[in-house]
Structure 1
C-alpha cells in the first residue's frame, strides 16, 4: 500500500460523487485560517471534520439537484465572479493562482468550486424563493415582543466613594463609616454635592464632581445600580457599601423606559420574519433532498 493510499481515502459517496479525506482537511485548514485572521466569524463547532463533512455532503446534494433540474452557470458568470474576487482582494491573476496552489487547488478546480456555489445559490433562490410576510404578521410580532422594542431606562448619577477593601479590618471599616457619615451629614446640611465629591471622593470621577454620566441597567455594580434606579431625579442616597467601598449616590437626571414606535421598526420586523421563514423553508427543502439522495459515509 502506498503512502498516498494511507494518508488519503474516500470518506463519502454522494450521488456518485466522492469526497476525500484530503478535501475535508483542506477545507478545515482554510476555515481555521479565516477565523484566525479575523476574516470570518466561525464557531468552533463548525470547524470539526464531522461538521465540515456534513456541510460538504449537503452542498453536493444541492449542486446535484440543481444539475438534475437543468440549472446552469455560464463560463462568463464564473469569469465575472473571479474578477470580483480579484478586485475586492486586490489580487492579480498570478497572485490568486499562487494562493490557490498553496491550498492545493488548481484554477480549474477553483472554477468548479465556484460553479457549485453559484448553482447552490441559484437553485436555493428558485426552490426557497422570497417569503411574503403580511402586515398582520408584522403587527403580531411587535405586540408579542414589545419588550425587545422598548428602550431601557437610563440614569445620570454622581457619587462620592471612599475606597475600602472587602477584607478590611473592623477598625478600618469603622473609620471609613465615620468619615462617610460625616460627609453625608454635611450634604444634608446643604453642602454642594459636586464640591464634596471633588474634596473627598477617591476615584477618577472626583475631578468632575463625581459625575458618572448616563448609564443603563447592567453597566454598574448590582448594589449600586439597584439604589440608583430606585431614586428620583435630584435625590441623594444614604451611604451604601459595594465591593469597592462606601458610596453616596445622587441621581442628577433619569429617562424612563420607552417603547419604540411600530412605524419605526415595522420594516426591520418584516425582514426578520422573512429571513427566519426563509431559513426554515430552506431547511425543510434540504431535508427532502437528503431523503431522496444516495449518501454513503465511510468516514
Structure 2
C-alpha cells in the first residue's frame, strides 16, 4: 500500500466554478475509451494539477506543452481502461477499506491527522480529494493483485544481487535522525490584489511575532492551515518528510525563532520550531540488516510489478477501442 502523494499526478479534482462555463464553451472530446469519453477540460484540469506539483512542467513552448498533454492523455486513457477492468471483475472498495488505508499510511509514516492534512495541502489536495484518489488507488492495487501478484516472486538471490550492486548509502541504515516539533501559520493567497493582501498580513504577523506575540495565539487567530485550532502545532516531523521548500526554511531555525515569511504552494507560511529530538531505530528484532533486506524486497517487487503492469496495460490497450483526438 502506498500514499498516493506523494502523489504527483492527482486524480478526480473538482473544477473551480468560476472556470466551468468558459471550459464548457471550448470543450471537446479528446479520447474515447471503449465508449467512455475524456474531455479536453478534464485534460486541462490534470495539466494544471501537474504544473502545480511540478513547476518545471509549466511552459510557454507550444510543442513542449503539446507533448506533455499527449503524455497525460495516455495516462488518463490507461486509468480509464484500468477502472473499466476493475468494474468488469467486480472489484470494490468500501469506506472502511479507505479508513484503514489512511490509518495505515499515518502509522507507516508516523504522522498525525494534522500532519497528514498539512502534507496534502502542500500538494494542493483536501482530505476528501485524497480519499477519492486512495479509493481508485486501492481498486487498482486489488485489480493488479488479482491479475499479476500471483506471477511475481522475489527470491533471496535477487535480493542478494540487488544489495551487492547498491551504493553504500543505500545499504547502511542511519542510527537515527533529527525530528522537529513544528508550528505552522498559513495564509492562502491567489494572484493579484488578494495575494498582495495576504503577503502584507503575513508580514504583519511576522513583525508581531518578532515583538514577542505568542505564536500559538496568532495561529489560532489567523492561520488557515493544518492544526490551526491547536496553535499550528503539527507535532514532530523529520526534514525528509517535509516539502523541500519547507525543509529548507526549517532546518536552520533556532528553537522558538519564527521563520521569515515564506511563499510556497498557494499561499504564505511562517514556521516555528519548538523542540528538536533524535528519533532512534525500532526494536532490536527489526535489525538494520532485516530492515535493509525488506526494503530491497519491496523495491524489487515494485519494479517487477511496474514492468508487468506495463505489459498488461499494453495488452489491454490492444484488445480495446481507444481513439485519441488531440
The normalised TM-score by structure 2 is: 0.41
Which structure has the greater CA radius of gyration?
A: 1
The normalised TM-score by structure 1 is: 0.44
